[in-house]
Structures are given as structure tokens and as C-alpha cells.
Amino acid sequence: MRTVFIEDQAEIEKVIKACRTCFLGLSDLNMQPYVVPMNFAFEKGVIYLHSGPFGRKWEIMKENTKACITFVLGDELTYQDEHVGCSWRVKSKSVIAEGEIEFVEEFNEKEKILHRLMGQYSDREFKFNAPAVKNVGIYKMKINKLQAKEFGTKAETPWKS
């Protein structure tokens, strides 16, 4: 089995949009990594996230705005030879996005982002009351670097018989 880089931007976006959860990776000033699963929305090179505006994640983002977000789609086991452990893989696709966190404070922008977030998971229309919008922490990451791979594809034979 081999790993293949995904270069097509449309395919990368398809992987991101098909995911239900992303993993936000942060590092505090002591270089202690912290990774947390998150709900998200994605649109035009920006990943939108939300949470309560407090806690460990929030404090780390205030200290160090650099972040990495990972998406993984698929978890099917595959192998070339069932008796050879090193030939087993998880057939999947992953996307790793890097950038810097920006906090969103403006009420109308926060409300628009909440609609984007819900649009990732449902086609329904939602209404958000003013206290909910005011009290939620909204942040976004503009993607500076993006890498995607597909794992567990059939390897092409590099030699001829």
C-alpha cells in the first residue's frame, strides 16, 4: 500500500466538507501541545470554530495564535497480504491545514459564522438569540499551508517481471 499526495484543490475541499470533526492542534508558550476535537465550518480557505470563550484552549490561543487543524475521512482496514503486519493500513484521506487564529468579536459576523457552522451539519434554518451570539467564542483560521494525502491505495509495481 502506498501514500499519495492529493493535489487537486476540489478534492481537498471535498474531504474537508465530508468530515464531521476536525482536530485543532495548539501549543502553549511552554511548547506543550494540546489537541482537541472540534465542530467546524469551512469556506474559501478559512476554517471557522466556536466554543465557550474561556478554558485551556482559549488561553493557549490567546498566548500563541499559530494552529494546525487536521481532518481525517475514512477508517477502513486494508492490506496487501493479510499475513504481513507491515502491509496493513487504514484506507483514508487526511488534510492538514496550518495558519493563525483570529478572534471574531463583531456581533453580525459572529452570527453569520454560526449559520456557516450549522450549515456544515444541517440544511435547516436556525435562529440565534442575542445572548447566545454575544456569549459564544468565535474564531477562524485562514489557511496559510495545506497538505492532503490518501492512504492505503494499491501500490503500483515499480518493477516489471
The average confidence (pLDDT) of the chain is 89
Q: In the chain, what are the domain boundaries? A: 2-153
DSSP assigned state of 109: H
Over residues 69-90, the pLDDT tens digits come to 999 988 777 767 778 777 667 7
CB 67 within 8 A of CB 98: yes
* CATH architecture type of domain 2-153: Roll (2.30)
Q: For residues 143 and 97, is the Cβ–Cβ distance under 8 A?
A: yes
Strand partners, 142: 46, 100
User: 157: pLDDT confidence band, cut at 50, 70 and 90?
Assistant: very low
Say what the pTM is. 0.86
**pLDDT per residue as tens digits for the range 34-44:** 999 999 999 98
Q: How many CB atoms lie within 10 A of CB 89?
A: 17
Percent of the chain with pLDDT over 90: 74
